């Protein structure tokens, strides 16, 4: 139950902070939280001692989902003209494989080396993998700029397409662009 509540909180309340602070930064912190929580599971001496580590596991996984899935969509939009179906299908297949193969492999490994050793190894792997998310830094910054309406590369920009937006959605154009200021088409910085 605590991991489900943590996941619910992570997926529903951390998308906007991830956009503002950088999706890669939030994902690194969340992956580290998952690693620490996995190690803490082995230190629990009672049922109540499992509440905090399991909450941390759910919260961390939820935060990773809410920060990296939009970044994945951004990268697909940037490189493959919005072919989201295949990318999300691959992501869901990976999750399904993890749920299917994880218990099979984990059960075998628990018999061989023991549950605490497995959880510590999983925690260390999560913490050591987290810094590789720094490679997503540039994509994360570009996605934040696009979300703010700036032109980045070949991306859609509210400023660039203002005349089309004004003709279709006159009220929304003024809300989206400069908080009610007049729409204008001008030079836009590129990364």
Across the chain, which has 191 residues, the per-10-residue mean pLDDT values are 92 88 89 95 93 95 89 77 76 89 92 94 92 78 66 46 49 47 42 43
Name residue, tokens 């996605």.
143
Kindly state the tokens that stand for 105.
Answer: 């492999």
Kindly state the tokens that stand for 39.
Answer: 């190690």
Does residue 86 share a domain with residue 174? no
User: For the whole prediction, is pTM greater than 0.75?
Assistant: no
Does residue 71 share a domain with residue 158? no
For 185: left if phi > 0, alpha if psi spans -120 to 50, otherwise beta; the answer is: beta
Does residue 37 share a domain with residue 71? yes
Distance between CA 30 and CA 4 in Å, rounded?
Answer: 16
Does residue 84 share a domain with residue 7? yes
Residue 112 has a pLDDT of 94
Does residue 141 share a domain with residue 59? yes
Which domain covers residue 76, as residue numbers? Answer: 2-146
Distance between CA 61 and CA 58 in Å, rounded?
Answer: 5
Count of structural domains within the chain: 2
Q: Is 185 domain-assigned?
A: no
Does residue 23 share a domain with residue 58? yes
């Amino acid at each position: 139950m605590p991991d489900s509540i943590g996941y619910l909180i992570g997926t529903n309340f951390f998308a906007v902070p991830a956009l503002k602070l950088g999706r890669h930064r939030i994902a690194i912190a969340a992956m580290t939280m998952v690693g620490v929580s996995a190690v803490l599971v082995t230190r629990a001496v009672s049922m109540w001692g499992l509440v905090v580590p399991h909450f941390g596991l759910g919260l961390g996984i939820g935060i990773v989902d809410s920060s990296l899935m939009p970044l994945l969509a951004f990268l697909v939009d940037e490189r493959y003209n919005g072919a989201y179906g295949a990318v999300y299908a691959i992501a869901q297949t990976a999750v399904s494989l993890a749920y299917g193969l994880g218990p099979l492999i984990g059960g075998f490994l628990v018999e061989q080396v023991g549950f605490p050793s497995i959880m510590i190894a999983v925690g260390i792997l999560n913490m050591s993998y987290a810094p590789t998310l720094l490679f997503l830094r540039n994509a994360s910054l570009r996605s934040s700029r696009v979300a703010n309406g700036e032109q980045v590369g070949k991306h859609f920009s509210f400023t660039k397409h203002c005349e089309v937006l004004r003709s279709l959605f006159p009220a929304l154009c003024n809300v989206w662009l400069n908080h009610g200021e007049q729409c204008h088409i001008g030079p836009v910085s590129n990364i």
